[in-house]
Every structure is written in structure tokens, then in C-alpha cells.
Amino acid sequence: MRFLDELLFPGRCPVCLDIPVPKGALICNACRDKLRLIEDPRCLKCGRAVRKDTAEYCPDCARLKRSFVTGIAGFNYGSVPVRKLISRVKYHNERQLLDYPCALMAGHYAQTVEAWGLSCLIPVPLHASRRRARGFNQAEEIARRLGAVWDIPVEKKLLVRQKKTLPQKELDEAARLKNLTDAFALKPDPRGVPLCAAVVDDIYTTGTTMEACTRALMQAGVERVYSIVLAAVL
């Protein structure tokens, strides 16, 4: 019986570490039900959930300048399984946990993204020392999974971090934007700059990082920039 069990359920669910996963599935059914894409009403700018049906924009997008055209956000970062999953990816190097949420998001937003006419996906770069410490950039991992489904190339070396920034958590909003204003730049590329690109990140909080990357890209000549994030804080 045990042998048969292992044949049918080769592993435990990588999200809850508890329930055996049916063959061919990425996570268990219980976790699948908990990992849900953000539903309407969503902010027309950044794509995160808004609390009221009547609100077009989230409070941040309503009061702050947004240079990107529009964006999509996959999941609510406030949901416990989403938060757990992202932290396991980042701090325990369990990148395979991104397979399921990225597949779900890629499928759901395929038409939206196709209509944008993107030339490439650009992951938000980590500072080199942080990347070395972690061994990978989670934004790049997300971009690669989405790009594979959408058939859009990922340009992981185009946008660079020029200087080490302070941890954003410790700064107020004005200081955050200042801290990031000069942090990002485009590397010169013989192919020129892409006409239309999406910046990809793991977590969207106030949108400051997304705005800073967008400005850096537009200053370099990218005409239209879109925002794509795996999870957004409500």
C-alpha cells in the first residue's frame, strides 16, 4: 500500500509541506485554493486590490505620480500562504515554489500582456552583494517563468543598480524615492533600448521601486513601461 501511495503521490506539497501532491500537480489542492489571484476591484494603475468598488486607484496611485502605463499584480501579499511562499523562495532558495503561482498568473494575464506589445521583461535588479549572498534574484526567477509562457525575452542585464541603497523599510516615503532615484540605470547596449518593456518584481508595497525603475528606463529612452509583480500589499 505504501508503495502504491508513493507511486501516486511522489512528494509532499512544497507550500504546506504536509499534504501529498497528486502526480503532475505542483502543489496540493488545499494550497491551490488558498493561492488565489487578485480579483476585482483592482487599481487601474498598479493592479493591486482596492477596498471599495467605487475606487479606480489604490491610495498610493491616487496621490503619487506613476510613470508606468499600467500594471498587473498576481496575488495579495497579505495572504499567509503567499507570504510564506515568497519567504521560502527568498530565504530558503526554494525557487521551484514559484512554478505554480507564475503559471497561474501567466495564463490568466496572457491576453492583457499580449496587448501591451512588450519587447522584453526587465527584472528589478538586486544589488550585486545581495545577489551574491542570496545566489539568485527572485525577480529574475519570476520574469523567466512568465516570459517562457508569454514568449517574451527577459533582459536581466539591462537594468543595473549603481549604488548600494539603504534598506527601504527604515525610510519614509520621500527618503525612499530619493534613495532610489539614482540607484537604477540602463547599461549601454549595442541593440539600443527596447521600445516597450515591463519591469518585473516580487513584491509591490508603495510602488517606489517600480516608479524608480520606470523613470530610469524612460530616461534612457524606453517609450512605454508596464509593471508586473507577483504579489502586492493591499
CB closer to Zn ion, 57 vs 131: 57
Q: CB-wise, 89 or 154, nearer to Zn ion? A: 89
**CB contact at 8 A, 140 and 175:** no
Interaction of residue 45 with Zn ion, rule CB under 5 A: yes
Cell 471599495 belongs to residue: 52
> Contact between 13 and Zn ion (CB under 5 A)?
yes
Q: Give the nearer residue to Zn ion in terms of CB position, either 28 or 98.
A: 28
Give the per-residue SS3 of 182-196.
CCEEECCCCCCCCCE
Tally of residues, the chain = 234
Report the distance separating Cα 119 and Cα 79, nearest Å.
32
| CB neighbour list of residue 72: distance below 8 Å, 6 or more residues apart | 47, 105, 109, 112, 113, 227, 228, 229
* Closer residue to Zn ion (CB): 61 or 198: 61
Of 56-75, binders to Zn ion (CB under 5 A) are 58, 61
Residue 85 touches Zn ion, criterion: CB under 5 A: no
Candidate list 26, 35, 43, 154; residue touching Zn ion; CB under 5 A: 43
Q: Is 46 in the site for Zn ion (CB under 5 A)?
A: yes
Residue 175 sits at φ, ψ, to 5 deg, of -70, -35
Among 9, 16, 108, 149, binds Zn ion (CB under 5 A): 16
28 binds Zn ion (CB under 5 A): yes
- The binding site for Zn ion (CB under 5 A) comprises 13, 15-16, 19, 28, 31, 43, 45-46, 58, 61
